[in-house]
Each structure stands twice: as structure tokens, then as C-alpha cells.
Structure 1
């Protein structure tokens, strides 16, 4: 891999790493800082309030998906990459210095909510922008491994967040983390965001995007409407992916603690194995997809996760399977699809609308099902319905498995052509074959703009 290509992969990975690190840190540390930031008569109320704010950040994602996707499709992939990681870093810094509820009352929660909304807007476009960039700059025969390495940032960020928590607990204890040690984790996330920003400043713009911009082709509403069916598929694929990620990466240690069979320290330390398996499965899926295509990996990952999540987690809860076995098996299934789904999803759409058309349905699915997953899971547990948590996850994974089997190779656009830009505005299924007509005959961004 050439030096320039290495930097491209690192730049794409860095932003996704920072996104995952931030959201993992918030999810894992919510029980520790909830008492300082959120009002409430008891710990359960405070923790649920923290998870509601976790969901608020996701609610901002669909808006961010449109705004950041629009920015990326009009101003460039590099501009979108820089904007998203900058906003994520600022949000983490705000939470790190947020005053406590005892000091400023409800304003402490307001500050955290605003920070999460800012990050939600940024993160709404991060995944789609990174996927679009990787698809357009990677060599055709190594596209999926490039994407897998880039999206391994998700597992690396989750792993890093888990390690940060484990280090803080080991060095300060539970009381020390609750008494302000949690701020260190958000400061680390902010510094990582600044590092990712520096790396991204050195990457070039996508040549494919430059080609389309030079041809005067931009995103239009008729073009987006013509791809509504594909956007629905992207929505379906994202439902199980986001629920599986937040269950397997973030909530499993908390679920294990709720069974009464593991302490927080035991669950957190053993969860490292599950995250390593997630990372390994993601990397392996990229190499396999370059050889056999992405769809077999996506279909296998979703189907296996949907079938196994209930028996694996109920066996863990009952003590039949140890955590160190059940959790890695589940995260391996999730990793098989997670490494290649974003890249394949980006290819469902033509260049002029690639970021916004992928970002909006993905952001909506993440907001509705990923952002609320921790709250729904904790609510079920508080109602003595722990066994329904894996059932809920299985429903979402089944939806994605159905979507995965609905996607065919025929629906995946060539990366470096203007295919699909003349799609029928009434919503007919666009022809995925390369568009051989002169680029200037495609709809101009000045005509019927979004």
C-alpha cells in the first residue's frame, strides 16, 4: 500500500475511531457520571436520564445525515471528513468540562444535551462520508479490505473506550470515577479527535467526486427520490447493524452484571476478548469480500447473528455458557457484516448523492434503533424482563437479514462512472449499468437542486 493510500486508510479509520470512542465512553460511563449531571430521586432515574440524553444525540443524527451528506456531496468528501471530526472533538471537550448539577442545577444537563446534539449532527454524516470516501479512493481489487480497515475504527474505538474505563476503575476505583474521574475519559476522546483532524487535513479529495463536480453534476431531489427503494434497503441493513453493535460492543457487560453472575470489573475485563473477535471478524470480512464479493459476508453475518443472539445470551444469563464464550461468538457474527456493509451500502447510490442518500436512512435507523437501544434494554431490565433484551435485538437483526437477501449485485453501482444520474424522477428503479453518455447531459446541480 502506497504511503498516500496508508494515510487515506488511517484518516478514514481515525474519524470512525473517534466517533466510536466517544459514544462508547458515554454509554459505558453513563452510570458513573449520571449522579453528578442529572437530577433524580434515585440512581435508576439518573442513569435512565443519562441514557435518554444518549438517545438525544442519535435523534440529531438524521438531521446531521442530511446536512453533512449535503455538504459532502456539494463541497467535497474531504470537507465532510474535516467538519465531522472537528464537531465530535468539540462535543467531547464540552462534556469533559461540564459543571455538576450541584453547582449549576439543570444547566449541567442542558450543556451535556447540547454537546450530544452537536456530536449527533457530526456523526450523522461521519459513517456515510467515510464510506463514500473509501469507496471512491480505494483500488477496485482492495476496496473492501480498505473499508474493513477503516471501519475497524468502530471496534478499535469501542475497545479503547473499554480499556479507558478499565484503567480508570483500576486506578481510581468506582468512587473515584464517579467523583470526577469520568471527565478524564471525555478529555481523552477530545484529544483523539484533534489528532484525527490533523491526519485528515493531509488527505486528497476524491478524484471521482472531482470528475462529477467538473461535469456540473450535483445532488437533486428527483435523483434522490429515484433511489427511494435503495434508501429503504440501506435503512433495513442499518437497523440490525446498529442494534447489534450497541448490544455487542457497549451493553453486554452491563447485561452480564444484571444477571448477578459477574461484577462490573469482571464483565469489563472479559469483554475485551469479545471486542478483539469483533475486530478480527471485520478485518477478515474485508479480505474475503474482495475475493468472493460483499453480499455473502453481509448475508451470513446478519443471518447468524439473528439466529444465535437469543440462545447465546440466554445461555450466558443462566450460566450455561461463560461470558468469555457467548460474547465473542455474537460479536464475531456482527463483525462479519460490519466490515463490509457500509462500503456495499455506498455503492447502492451514484456519485452525486452517494453521501446524503446513504447517510439519511442510515442516520434515521441509528437514531430510532441504535440511540434508543441502551434505554430500551435498561428499561426492560428494570421491569424484570432481562430475557427480552436479546429477543428485541433478534427482531432488528432479522429485519437486516431480510434486507441483506434483498440486495443483489445488480444493484451495486460502478464506483467511477455517472451511472444512475439520469434516473427517472418518478422513482423507477435506476439502471445500474455504466452511463456512457457525455457527463454534461446529466442533471446539473443548478437545476432542481436539493
Structure 2
């Protein structure tokens, strides 16, 4: 048996290294479940939209469900503040356990919710309430899990290990889409619209219970002294680092918008704009998201070599130049293989951002306000720009100017590029630099 006291290149014993890797796995599992539950709504919307919004054409129904999806994002800043404060004052593990418990409740409510035909306007109202509850939960999940995974990641390889936050975030999307693809093979369209769409929400609620159990065994990454500092988890303490806060807002706006454009909205875009069959679009997105998930550790490891700032500059520049051509080409695509290739190219560009998204934010804030700084800044930009992506795209399509959305995404990515050019490299100067 290997000696557990052997010190590795990172200065940690082999036992400590294994525990840190286990912590990454444990935190990641809960992260996957959180995002599975959240994205099941988006991917199943094609089937349950008529049950809650029976009036109008397909675009109108999807616009209504996208509005509820966006409303869930409006709760994210509150969740980012509440869970960020909780994580900084009571510990990362406590905050992560509470957030996954709340997500479980929201999924369970949607799974058993009566339709418009059964209870009238109460159906969409209760759907909105459940999504607001889930939005509060996932608003806290991002900041606390990103902070936790950044703190336990091994020095010199933080980009690689922290990238697993988005591996599981994308994995949650992928699992949600995969469950839908399986149901599409087993059930008819009529059965999916009648009751089949409820199954993924039940699966998500059960998986959340498992994630809650796994998170109970995680080690805490903050000390009691850090949690008891006067500024711990306070807005006043966070505002002492307002430059970092505003920097995160600047690049998260474009990053979130393009992320949701080429992931959750893309399935609807292929169906509603390119005219692709729903099953074909689901298959294309399943394959594309799988490749995207595998990209994250590669781009995370790349950031360890070239620096976070260079990765962000590459993201901003390539996204600014590539968004309009990619969306224009996808608009007229007929081959599912061509659609897959174009989407993978787009997601490769986005990977420069997503692979280090949580880490680059965590590196900018000290431990006493790190979870609050990461969670609140991300949630604000994500709620305004990421959560509204589908709604803005569908609204512009409904008034006949869909291509304006392409330029809207481009403009936000250009801002992200400018912010990246002006910021210092946090991997060299950030608060995590000297952490074991």
C-alpha cells in the first residue's frame, strides 16, 4: 500500500490529493443534478407548452414558456446574494446542501402540476412559482459550487480541475436532453404532450435526493476565522472589490448570452427557424453537447498554460467575429451533420469562457466574500442577459427581425472582449494564487 504521507508536486500528501479529487466529484454530482432539473424545463417546453398556454401558434406558446424560463433567472440575483452570504458566513457545504434540496422541491411540484384545462390560469401561475423557486436555488448553486471547486482544485492545475463545474453543468443539460431523446423513442408525440413530459421532472427530483446525500460528506474549505470576519458575506465587504465585481459583470453578460444561445435556445432555433424535425434537433444537440462537455477539461488545462486573461480575450474576439456568420448559416441549414459541425465550432469558441468561468471569478475575490462575489455578479449578468436570451430571440422573430438577435449577441461578446483586454490576469495575481 502506498504511503499516504508521501508529498506530491503540489506540496500535498497523496491522501490530501485524493480527498480533493473526491471533493471535486462530490460537488460536481450535485451541480449536475441542479442543472439537469433546471434545463429539463427548457428541453421539454416543446411538449408541455400547449398544456399551460393553450392559445396561439407554436411561436407564441414557446414565447410564453420562455418568459417563465426567463422569470426564473430573475430570482438568481436573490439566490446569488442569499446563498453567497450563507456560504461565506456558514460554509460552502451548508449552502450547497440547501440549494440542491430546494431544486428537488421545485422539480417535484412541476412533475405533479395540473394543466390549464384542469385548473385554468392557476396552472401557468403555479408553473411560474415553481420556476422562481428553482431560479432561487440555481442562483445560489453556481456561486457556491464554483467557489468550492476553485478552492479545492490543485495549484497549477486549477483550470483543469475547476473546468469540471461546466463539465457537470453541461452534463446536466446533456442528461436532460438524453432523457427526452429516450422518451421520444418510447412514446408518441401525443403521449409526450399528454403526460410523458412529466417523467424527466420526477427523475430530477429523485436524483436531487442522491446528490444531497453525497454533499453531506464533503469537507469544508473555509476556516471559522474567515467566516467570522466582520465583512464576511456582506455587500459592504464585497463593494471594497468593486473593480473585480464590475469586471465579472462585463464578461459574464456576453458569456452567458452566447452560452444560452448555442445550448438551450439552439434546439428551438433548429426546429422553429431552420425547420428541422424536433427529434432530429434533439439528436443534433445531444451529440453537440456531449462534445462540448468533453472540451471543458482541455480548454481548462489550456488556461493553466496560457493564463485566464488570454483565454478570455480569445473567447471575446472569436465570439465577436463568428456569431453572425454561424447563426446565419444555421438559419438555412438542411443537413443535421452540417448543423452539428457548426454548433460544435460555436461551442468551441464558448469553451474559452465556460471552462474557466467559475475559477476566473473566484480568483478575483478574497475568501470572506468569495462566494457572494462570484454568485451575485454572475447571477445579475446571467439574469439580465442569459435568462432572457430565448425570449429576446423569439420576440425578435415574432416581429420579423430575427437577425437583429445575431448582432445583439455579437455586441455583448465585443464588450466581453474589451473587458478581458483591460483586466489583469487573475491566475497570476488573484487571491487563490498562493492557496495550496
TM-score of the aligned structures, taking structure 2 as reference length: 0.90
1:164 alignment partner in structure 2: 179
Q: Could you tell me how far apart the structure 2 residues matched to 1:152 and 1:355 are?
A: 20
Question: How many angstroms apart in 2 are the aligned matches of 1:333 and 1:39?
Answer: 38
- The change in CA–CA distance for 1:216 and 1:255 in structure 2 (over 3 A counts) is closer
Q: Secondary structure at the match of 1:365?
A: helix
* 2:233 is the counterpart of 1:184: no
The structural deviation recorded for 1:389 is: 2.9
SS of equivalent residue, structure 1 residue 348: coil
Which of residues 370, 375, 383 in structure 2 aligns to 1:367? Answer: 383
Matches within 5 A, 1:420-435: none
1:104 matched to 2:140? The reply is no
Query: Contact between 2:259 and 2:350, CA under 8 Å: does it hold in 1?
Result: yes
Confirm whether residue 10 of structure 1 aligns to residue 22 of structure 2. Answer: no
Pair 1:328-2:344 in alignment: yes
1: CA distance, partners of 2:19 / 2:50: 47
Deviation for aligned residue 1:213:
3.1
Does the alignment pair 1:307 with 2:326?
no
Shift in CA distance, 303/295, structure 1 to aligned 2, threshold 3 Å: same
Label 1:398 to 1:16 Cα distance change in 2 as closer, same or farther (>3 A): farther
Q: Secondary structure at the match of 1:140?
A: coil
What's 2:432 paired with?
415
Please state if 1:92 is matched with 2:107.
yes
Q: Contact 2:93 / 2:220 at 8 angstroms: preserved in 1?
A: yes
Other-structure match for 1:133:
148
2:365, 2:431 within 8 Å by CA — same for their partners in 1? no
- Give 1:202's match in structure 2, choosing from 217, 223, 228: 217
Determine whether 1:341 maps to 2:357.
yes
Look up the match of 2:77: 62
Offset of residue 43 of structure 1: 4.1
**Given the two structures, how large is their TM-score scaled by the length of structure 1?**
0.87
Are the structure 2 counterparts of residues 209 and 380 from structure 1 closer, same or farther at C-alpha, using a change threshold of 3 Å?
Answer: farther
Structure 1: gaps spanning 5 or more residues: 419-450
Are residues 1:394 and 2:410 paired?
yes
Q: By how many angstroms is 1:80 displaced?
A: 0.9
Q: Give 1:378 deviation, angstroms.
A: 1.2
**Counterpart-to-counterpart distance in 1, 2:358 and 2:420:** 12
1:144 aligns with 2:134: no
Instruction: Check conservation: 1:131, 1:342, Cα contact below 8 A.
Output: yes
| Residue 395 (structure 2) aligns with | 379
- Cα 1:210–1:141, aligned 2, differ >3 Å: closer, same or farther? farther
Verify the 8 A CA contact 2:110 2:127 in the aligned structure 1.
Answer: yes
**How far is 1:416 from its partner?**
7.8
Q: Shift of the alpha carbon at 1:214?
A: 6.3
Task: Report the CA distance between 1:384 and its aligned residue.
Answer: 2.8
The SS at the match of 2:402 is: coil
Give the CA deviation at 1:42. Answer: 4.4
Matched, 1:241 2:255: yes
Aligned alpha-carbon RMSD (Å):
2.1
2 CA distance for matches of 1:222 and 1:319?
Answer: 51
Q: Contact 1:38–1:106 at 8 Å: present in 2 too?
A: no
1:186-236 deviations in Å (ceiling 9; x for gaps): 111212222211111110100x44452366762444322221221111111
Which of 275, 279, 293 lines up with 1:265 in the alignment? 279
Any conservation in 2 of the 1:316–1:323 contact (CA below 8 Å)?
yes
Measure how far apart 1:3 and its partner are.
3.9
Q: 2:6 — aligned with what? A: none
Q: Distance in 1 between matches of 2:424 and 2:334?
A: 39
SS of the aligned residue for 1:408 comes to coil
Rounded Cα–Cα distance in structure 2 between residues aligned with 1:209 and 1:406: 33
CA contact (8 A) 1:92 1:115 kept: yes
Query: Kindly tell me: are residues 229 and 193 of structure 1, through their superposed partners in 2, closer, same or farther at Cα, counting changes over 3 Å?
Result: same
Maintained 8 Å contact 1:306/1:394: yes
Map of 1:223 onto structure 2: 237
Gaps of 5+ in 2: 1-13
> Does the 8 Å CA contact 2:44/2:180 hold for their aligned counterparts?
yes
CA contact (8 A) 2:48 2:197 kept: yes
Contact 1:58 1:371 (8 Å CA) reproduced: yes
Cα pair 1:72 1:79 within 8 Å, conserved = yes
Q: Residue 345 and residue 175 in structure 1: after superposition, are their counterparts in 2 closer, same or farther (change >3 A)?
A: same
Q: Spell out, residue by residue over 1:108-166, the C-alpha distance to the aligned partner (whole angstroms, 9 max, x if none).
A: 22221111111111111111111111122222122221111232111111111211111
Bigger mean CA deviation after superposition, 18-27 or 99-108: 18-27
Structure 1 residue 60, shift from structure 2 partner: 0.7
SS in 2 for 1:141: coil
Contact 2:276 2:334 in 1 (8 A): no
Q: Distance in 2 between matches of 1:298 and 1:320?
A: 33
* Match in the other structure for 1:447: none
Instruction: Say yes or no: does 1:256 pair with 2:270.
Output: yes
